[in-house]
Amino acid sequence: DQQVKQNSPSLSVQEGRISILNCDYTNSMFDYFLWYKKYPAEGPTFLISISSIKDKNEDGRFTVFLNKSAKHLSLHIVPSQPGDSAVYFCAGGSNYKLTFGKGTLLTVNP
């Protein structure tokens, strides 16, 4: 039972354009969501989070949108930079536990 799904295994965008990473979830009990970025041979790095009572949270170039009725969240990166190339994981949290999606590999081309 995959409670958090990232349906796009990979995404390629041009430098300077917007990157949109999507995530769907099935567990209505999640009360917060997080996005992590992971480079090869390193642990995931926290990017941005959003509470389930909010629909948007912004931090610099990163904005997360939450649509609870659709059980969908997305991460927008504007403008995209080559250093943003990494695997991005979304995660839902509840009851002292994070449930992760399988990740989306973002490649930002110069």
Contact footprint for another protein (CB under 8 A):
31-32, 34, 36, 41-46, 49-51, 89, 91, 93-103
Least Å distance, CB 15 to another protein, is 27
Q: In Å, how far are 13, 60, 99, 108 from 83, measured between CA atoms? A: 12, 15, 26, 8
Between CA 24 and CA 43 the distance in angstroms is: 23
Q: Which is nearer to another protein, 26 or 109 (CB)?
A: 26
Least Å distance, CB 20 to another protein, is 20
Q: Which is nearer to another protein, 34 or 108 (CB)?
A: 34
